[in-house]
């Protein structure tokens, strides 16, 4: 390998090579950090929710006027919706998980006023919640029909005697102790027994650090607004959306509005809109940087091929085969790319350190640095391939031309 | 050493075809110093390119060092150029970014010699042309004559069967031209065959034989004969394609 003479020649014509090496270095530093951040966002968006989001439809009923009867409307809606072909289960709901809207309050494990409180995002569901959300109760049981308080129940404002909580919330409340059968207390020291533990479910706010602190109460949401979570059989969801809306409209359109009949996927996507936009922007930036750097390499290689036509012809005349010329340009480009990558590695780590310190983001996983290096080497190879092929086609007879 | 029989070279474009060589036959013996002369457009450069395997003839046969080289692949031609032919160009064609040592090294690397052998050959060749002390200089740091001597060292380092020189003094003043010609004569006296293309009758006189081209054919081939006055000789015929 003629590395020393190539390095020597590069050093004597260093302006272009240095600029492209710096471009490669910056590209590596930016691309690797962008890749890592994009991957973090994508993983964040793709976290398993614990629910059968793909098959869930949500709808809202908003009553108005003196003729509106909240519980009767809910009863009629539930009967009709549960009877629709393709529907697995329906629960009335105080809110839609992962929608960005919900209620939360702190609960404790003793009546002690000073006992620490752990905040939970709570929902009011009926006995069909487990089926309607598609979650798994791993300990205890779901609610029974008799436990579910109607909105007109005289004890509605009091804490229901039973709750179901997520495993994550149970661990935060009780640590290693079994949570099933334990009592939890609200701020008024009213208590409820934990009758069921959900394996996993996310709550309302996707950016909340205790996103999986979720609690269910066996209650209907008081009026005049109620939401429904409707779980469809696989493949039936989209066809059911207009049917759900029409069914609810036909039941009562004089004293309530039916709105926001849509897939839960849409709701979740809206919550992750910002994260998705960040990930998309980062990916576009990565692609653009690769394209720009690739064009830079192509430009420099094409320029040097044109500039060195006579030199290439001379090399061919004194014995270089076509593959020797290709190898020369590939080696030269590999050296330039490698110098850029070495500088870029230092920049990448420094940039990540600065970002991690300033914004408290995760430290770089070096696998991404290795991937970035590999991609830039590949990019350099691909970008220089065509100029190198053109160089190899320079006729050796060019050597005898005087102009 | 070199035997061309009925060599023709036609360049074709959409509109015209140009007959650069027309049935040229030439034989050069080992140890000869042959000057090929002729006016501009007589076919000298085409002859040089074909003799040096830089391009192929349209028809005819070419034996080099006892081997038919007229139908070789591109790779085989590269190998023969590297092993059997030493090129000396009018513009020296040194690589400006490499020092003299590395310039002489270029064909030896293509030949696949190891580092020690390359070093020995380079030093010997530079010694021979009187540039041993300048091996770390860049071409731009040398005079024209020194650059041409460096190019001659590059041509000699691989021990070629013959040297092909293309107007080797064309870019030199008379003093340097004389020094380069002295060096070529000395190389020839040491047994290396030289074929030199030139338009300079004075230089041609220093060869053993003068082959004069005209319109792509050999007009005369005389030992020790100065070139004729070629000022009025026409360019090669340009014929429209039928």
Q: What is the secondary structure of chain B as a DSSP string?
A: -EEEEEEEEEEE-SSEEEEEEEEEEEEE-TT-EEEEE--TTSSHHHHHHHHTTSS--SEEEEEETTEE-TT--HHHHHHHHHHHEEEE-TT----TTS-HHHHHHHHHHHHT--HHHHHHHHHHHHHHTT-GGGTTS-GGGS-HHHHHHHHHHHHHTT--SEEEEESTTTTS-HHHHHHHHHHHHHHHHTT-EEEEE-S-HHHHTTSSEEEEEETTEEEEEEET-PPPP-TTPPPPPEEE--
Is A361 a residue whose pLDDT tops 80? Answer: no
State pLDDT tens for residues A270-285: 999 999 999 999 999 9
In a domain, B8, yes or no: no
CA B149 vs CA A160, A312, B135, B189: distances in Å: 103, 21, 12, 17
The pLDDT score that the predictor gives to residue A398 is: 87
Across A189-215, average pLDDT: 95
Percent of chain A's residues with pLDDT above 70: 99
In a domain, B16, yes or no: no
Residue of B106, B166, B198 to mutate when probing chain A, most A C-beta within 10 A: B106
For residue A171, count CB atoms less than 10 angstroms from its CB and return exposed for 0-12, middle for 13-18, buried for 19 or more.
middle
Cross-chain Cβ contact B78/A321 below 8 Å: yes
Domain regions of chain A by residue span: 3-46+273-400, 53-264
Which domain covers residue B127, as residue numbers? Answer: 30-58+73-225
Residue pair A28/A344 in contact by the 8 Å Cβ criterion: yes
Of the candidates A124, A101, A95, the one whose C-alpha atom is nearest the C-alpha of residue A271 is A101
Cross-chain Cβ contact A322/B111 below 8 Å: no
Q: What is residue A171's three-state secondary structure?
A: helix
Please tell me what DSSP assigns to residue A100.
Answer: S
Tell me the sheet residues that pair with B16. B240
Half-sphere exposure of B221 (CA within 13 A, CB side): 9
Could you list the pLDDT tens digit for every one of the 242 residues in chain B? 889 999 999 998 888 889 999 999 999 999 999 999 988 888 998 999 999 999 999 999 999 988 999 889 999 999 999 999 999 998 899 999 999 999 999 999 999 999 999 999 999 999 989 999 999 999 999 999 999 999 999 999 999 989 999 989 888 888 888 888 998 999 999 889 999 998 888 888 889 999 999 998 888 877 754 444 443 333 444 444 43
Longest dimension (CA), chain A: 106
Return d(Cα B187, Cα B164) in angstroms, integer.
Answer: 12
Point out the residue among B75, B78, B98 whose CB comes nearest to the CB of A9.
Answer: B98
Token representation of residue A324? 């020797």
What is the β-pairing status of strands B85-88 and B238-240? Answer: unpaired
SS3 of chain A: helix, strand, coil, percent, to 5: 55, 20, 30
What is the end-to-end Cα distance of chain B in Å, rounded?
A: 39
Residue of B21, B89, B151 to mutate when probing chain A, most A C-beta within 10 A: B89
Point out the residue among A9, A320, A397 whose CB comes nearest to the CB of B54.
Answer: A397
Q: Which residue has the tokens 């060019």?
A: A398
The pLDDT score that the predictor gives to residue B233 is: 37
The pLDDT score that the predictor gives to residue B211 is: 92
Q: How far is A283 from chain B (nearest CA, A)?
A: 40
Domain count, chain B: 1
Residue pair B194/B165 in contact by the 8 Å Cβ criterion: yes
CA A46 to chain centre: 4
CB atoms within 10 A of CB B185: 14
Choice among A210-219, A378-387, B36-45, B226-235 with the minimum mean pLDDT: B226-235
In a domain, B24, yes or no: no
Which CATH number does the domain housing residue B174 bear?
3.40.50.300
A310 inside 8 A of chain B by CB: yes
In a domain, B10, yes or no: no
Across A329-337, average pLDDT: 92
User: Chain B residues within 8 A (CB-CB) of chain A?
Assistant: 45, 48-49, 52-55, 74-75, 78-79, 81-83, 87, 89-91, 93, 95-99, 102, 105-107, 109-111, 138, 154-155, 158, 166, 170
Cross-chain Cβ contact A9/B83 below 8 Å: no
Return d(Cα A90, Cα A86) in angstroms, integer.
Answer: 11
Cross-chain Cβ contact B78/A320 below 8 Å: yes
Nearest-CA residue of chain B relative to A323? Answer: B75
The ipTM is 0.89
Return d(Cα A357, Cα B102) in angstroms, integer.
Answer: 50
């Amino acid at each position: 390998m003629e590395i020393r003479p190539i390095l020597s020649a590069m050093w004597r014509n260093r302006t272009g090579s240095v600029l492209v090496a710096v471009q490669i270095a910056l590209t590596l530093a930016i691309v690797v950090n962008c890749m890592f951040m994009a991957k973090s966002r994508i993983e964040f968006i793709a976290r398993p929710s614990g629910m059968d989001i793909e098959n869930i439809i949500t709808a809202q009923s908003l009553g108005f006027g003196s003729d509106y009867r909240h519980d009767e409307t809910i009863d009629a809606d539930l009967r009709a919706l549960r009877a629709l072909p393709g529907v697995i289960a329906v629960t009335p709901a105080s809110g839609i998980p992962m929608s960005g809207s919900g209620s939360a309050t702190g609960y404790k494990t003793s009546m002690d006023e000073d006992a620490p409180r752990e905040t939970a995002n709570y929902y009011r569901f009926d006995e069909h919640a487990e089926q309607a959300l598609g979650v798994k109760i791993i300990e205890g049981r779901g609610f029974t029909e008799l436990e579910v308080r109607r909105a007109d129940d005289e004890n509605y404002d009091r804490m229901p005697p039973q709750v179901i909580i997520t495993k994550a919330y149970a661990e935060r409340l009780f640590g290693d102790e079994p949570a099933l059968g334990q009592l939890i207390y609200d701020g008024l020291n009213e208590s409820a027994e934990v009758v069921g533990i959900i394996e996993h479910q996310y709550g309302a706010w996707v950016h909340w650090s205790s996103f999986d602190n979720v609690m269910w109460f066996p209650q209907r949401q008081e009026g005049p607004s109620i939401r429904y979570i409707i779980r469809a059989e696989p493949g039936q969801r989209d066809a059911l959306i207009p049917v759900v809306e029409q069914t609810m409209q036909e039941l009562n359109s004089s004293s309530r509005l039916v709105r926001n009949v849509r897939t839960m996927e849409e709701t979740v996507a809206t919550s992750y809109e910002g994260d998705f936009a960040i990930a998309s922007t980062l990916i576009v930036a990565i692609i653009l940087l690769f394209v720009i750097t690739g064009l830079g390499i192509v430009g420099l290689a094409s320029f040097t091929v044109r500039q060195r036509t006579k030199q290439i012809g001379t090399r061919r005349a004194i014995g270089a085969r076509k593959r020797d010329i290709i190898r020369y340009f590939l080696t030269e480009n590999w050296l330039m790319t490698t110098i850029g990558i070495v500088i870029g590695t230092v920049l990448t780590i420094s940039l990540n350190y600065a970002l991690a310190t300033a914004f408290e983001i995760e430290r770089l996983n070096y696998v991404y640095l290795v991937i970035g290096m590999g991609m830039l080497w590949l990019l350099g190879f691909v970008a220089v391939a065509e100029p190198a092929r053109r160089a190899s086609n320079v006729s050796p007879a060019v050597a005898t031309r005087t102009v | 050493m070199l035997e061309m029989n009925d060599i023709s070279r036609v360049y074709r474009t959409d509109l015209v075809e140009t007959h650069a060589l027309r049935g040229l036959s030439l034989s050069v013996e080992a140890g000869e110093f042959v000057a090929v002369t002729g006016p501009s457009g007589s076919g000298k450069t085409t002859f040089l390119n074909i003799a040096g395997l830089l391009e192929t003839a349209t028809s005819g046969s070419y034996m080099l060092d006892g081997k038919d080289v007229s139908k070789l692949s591109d790779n085989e031609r590269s190998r023969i150029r590297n092993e059997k032919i030493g090129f000396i160009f009018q513009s020296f064609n040194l690589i400006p970014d490499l020092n003299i040592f590395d310039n002489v090294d270029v064909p030896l690397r293509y030949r696949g010699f190891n580092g020690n052998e390359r070093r020995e050959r380079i030093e010997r060749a530079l010694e021979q042309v009187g540039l041993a002390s300048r091996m770390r200089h860049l071409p731009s740091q040398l005079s024209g004559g020194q650059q041409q001597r460096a190019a001659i060292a590059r041509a000699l380092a691989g021990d070629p069967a013959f040297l092909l020189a293309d107007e080797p003094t064309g870019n030199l003043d008379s003093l340097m031209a004389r020094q380069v010609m002295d060096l070529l004569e000395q190389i020839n006296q040491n047994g290396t065959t030289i074929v030199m293309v030139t338009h300079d009758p004075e230089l041609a006189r220093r060869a053993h034989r003068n082959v004069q081209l005209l319109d792509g054919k050999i007009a005369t081939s005389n030992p020790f004969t100065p070139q004729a006055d070629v000022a009025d000789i026409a360019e090669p015929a340009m014929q429209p394609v039928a």
